[in-house]
Amino acid sequence: MQVFKGVKLASGETTDITVEGSNVTKVGKTKESGLDCSGLIALPGFVDLHTHLRQPGYEASETVLSGSRSGAAGGYTALFAMANSDPVADNASVVEQVFKLGEEAALLEVRPIGAVTKGLAGTELSALGSMANSTARVRVFSDDGHCVHDPLVMQRALTYVKSLGGVIAQHAQEPKLTEGSQMNSGELSTELGLKGWPSVAEESIIARDALLAEQAGARLHICHLTTAGAVDVVRWAKARGIQITAEVTPHHLMLTDDLVRSYDPVYKVNPPLRRREDTLALREALIDGTIDIIGTDHAPHSSDKKDCEWEQAAFGMVGLEHAASVAQEVLVESGASDWQRLSEVMSSKPAEIGSLEGHGRIAEGLHANLVLVDPAASRTVAAVTNSLSSNNPFAGMELMGRVVHTIFRGKFSLRDGKVKNA
């Protein structure tokens, strides 16, 4: 039995949480002694609907184990692993392999995401049903890294996935408008001589897919929203009653394209960093519910893929270990929202979209998947973390909030800031 004494809940109430076995058995003051957690905030363990664990195929950048360690350090008790591995997770055996690796790591729940199309090629549907029925019980499907750009394929996929009780997570990027694109399209891309990635390439796909989802009566999730225009489209779709949800990354909430002046590939990401007006619109949308969740899009890359010319470099940034701090900055420190909302966007809503049980709530009888955060601590974000990769654009920045303990199914996966060893 483990008692966490004197924690503050998202509601603001201070109480004790008792954990026995893998469950929470009591939320309320108890005479039992336990771990002194005064000053810490207890939230349901975070759930990331958008992580790249790179295994199989790119183990130099990350593995399921190292990604799990990084997730645990960031307060995550569940990660959804994107399908753009090598081989692609477009069939039952790959997703079952990833699922098994997650169970072996035993630090958090790894839920593999299945590719929408075979090989992410965008033409034939992958083995969607067989992945849904596998031990990995896939419910989220995505070609992330690529856009399901063919409208007919997307239409068919939405209908099919609906019958599986799943959701498609679309990476919205019209390929014909973004061939060779390197950074946000605008005055800066003109000055720097880098090919632009225009917002219309994102917004047009979202609008199209929202209408397709409406027609199919299916759920649709949009990955990494980045523009004010995209927020407008999602708002319009929700007002229309379309079952659409949207996600934003920590980096798009805080970083802007002027960082690209340095030509440092640590700022290279797809979709790209945008303007200040866009980050402000995204923050507003996260607070008012137009955007439902924060998804890290944790995209580790080994140093040779980032220690080079901009155009040569890979797209992507790591994010698991500082997402909570960014969420705290944007929602709590800003005064614009609260811990309750933070808990929704980091935990309960992603669990809901991913049809994930056992996460997202702290209550008696439920699995003990918790994170304890010290909101008053400020720390300098490190480049080198539990991830195998250090492509972190926040490295060196001071952020508020430190994840102290992460509890997965009743056991510490992270204790006092140290990840539990196997």
Catalytic residue IDs: 297
CA distances from 111 to 80, 114, 126, 139, 238 (A): 5, 10, 18, 9, 27
Residue 315 binding other proteins, by CB under 8 A: no
β-pairing, 109-112 with 76-81? Answer: parallel
Nearest to 319 by CA among 250, 246, 217: 250
Give CA–CA dist 319/393, Å, rounded.
Answer: 9
Q: Which is nearer to other proteins, 11 or 190 (CB)?
A: 190
List of residues 6+ apart from 181 with CB closer than 8 A: 195, 196, 197, 201, 272
Angle at 392 between CA 101 and CA 200, to 5 degrees: 95
Site for other proteins in 251-270 (CB under 8 A): 262-264
Residue 417 binding other proteins, by CB under 8 A: no
Q: Which is nearer to other proteins, 60 or 336 (CB)?
A: 60
Q: Which is nearer to other proteins, 216 or 266 (CB)?
A: 266
Q: Which residue has the tokens 């407008």?
A: 232
List of residues 6+ apart from 4 with CB closer than 8 A: 16, 17, 18, 19, 34, 35, 37, 40, 42, 370, 372, 405
Give CA–CA dist 188/186, Å, rounded.
Answer: 5
Phi/psi for 168 (5° steps) reads -95, 130
β-pairing, 35-36 with 2-8? Answer: parallel
CB of 189 to other proteins, least distance (A): 8
Q: Are 226 and 219 in contact (CB under 8 A)?
A: no
Q: Which is nearer to other proteins, 189 or 296 (CB)?
A: 189
Residue 398 binding other proteins, by CB under 8 A: no
Site for other proteins in 181-240 (CB under 8 A): 186-187, 189-194
What's the gap between Cα 220 and its chain centre?
16
CB of 263 to other proteins, least distance (A): 3
Residue 277 binding other proteins, by CB under 8 A: no
Q: Which is nearer to other proteins, 190 or 334 (CB)?
A: 190
What is the contact mask toward other proteins in residues 144 to 183, using x (rule: CB under 8 A)? ----------------------------------------
Stretch that binds other proteins, among 41-49, 80-88, 110-118, 310-318 (CB under 8 A): 310-318
Site for other proteins in 23-82 (CB under 8 A): none
Residue 384 binding other proteins, by CB under 8 A: no
What is the full DSSP assignment across 76-133?
EEEEEEPS-SSS-S-SHHHHHHHHHHHHHH-SSEEEEPBPSBGGG-SSSB--HHHHHH
- With CB under 8 A as the contact rule, the residue among 32, 104, 277, 307 that binds other proteins is 307
| DSSP code at position 39 | T
CB of 301 to other proteins, least distance (A): 14
CB of 277 to other proteins, least distance (A): 15
- With CB under 8 A as the contact rule, the residue among 304, 357, 364, 398 that binds other proteins is 304
- With CB under 8 A as the contact rule, the residue among 25, 93, 243, 310 that binds other proteins is 310
Q: Which is nearer to other proteins, 227 or 348 (CB)?
A: 227
Q: Which positions lie near other proteins, rule CB under 8 A?
A: 186-187, 189-194, 262-264, 304, 307-312
